[in-house]
Amino acid sequence: MTAVSPERRRTQRGMTLIELIVAFTILALLTSMAVPLARSRVRREQERELRLALREIHTAIDKYKDMADQGQLGQQNAAKEGYPESLEVLVEGVKVNGQGTEGEKKIRFLRRIPKDPFTKKAEWGMRSTQDDPKSTAWGGQNVFAVYSKTMEKAADGTPYSEW
């Protein structure tokens, strides 16, 4: 075995074992702090998207109801109470009486049914005016309100299905 001269040691480049351990410890500590922050940011973004989707659907339902109450959607079924019979009706559109030579035209209240950011599907829980406000089963009479089908809860403990 040959001994390494002190001059050669000074010219060698690299890190000692202790320096590597310290560097990896610092890196692990920073990573463990960043992961929860990233998760909370993703969760806040999903909550924001959920609020926007619910607002979009509820606004479309309200517009449909207003037009039905004003008689602009033609003869309505009394059992529907002026609400749409499904979310698809809001997308497909409803024929309304036009003025002048136009005849009848179709009004769409939604371009598409928004996706639930938690379930990643365009499927929503629905409630009719006859359903219990906390019910998870839809009576099928009309669509009065929608809710997320996820079982997850917000940071304050309220289920997203109650938003």
Residue with token string 């040691």: 9
Q: Which residue has the higher pLDDT, 22 or 163?
A: 22
Q: How far apart are CA 157 and CA 74, in angstroms?
A: 44
Question: Which pLDDT does position 39 carry in this prediction?
Answer: 85
Q: How far apart are CA 140 and CA 147, in angstroms?
A: 15
Mean pLDDT of 94-110: 74
Compute the Cα dihedral for 78, 79, 80, 86 and give only its sign: negative
- Report domain extents, the chain: 17-162
pLDDT range class, residue 5, cuts 50, 70, 90: low
pLDDT in tens, 27-48: 999 888 888 888 889 999 999 9
pLDDT in tens, 126-154: 998 888 777 788 888 889 999 999 989 98
Q: How far apart are CA 87 and CA 115, in angstroms?
A: 13
DSSP for 101-163 reads GG-EEEE-S-SSPPPPTTT-SS--EEE-TTS-TT-SS--SS---EEE-----B-TTS-BGGG-
Q: How far apart are CA 34 and CA 44, in angstroms?
A: 15
Is the entire prediction scored with pTM above 0.95? no
According to DSSP, the β-strands at 145-147 and 104-107 are unpaired
Question: Which pLDDT does position 1 carry in this prediction?
Answer: 55
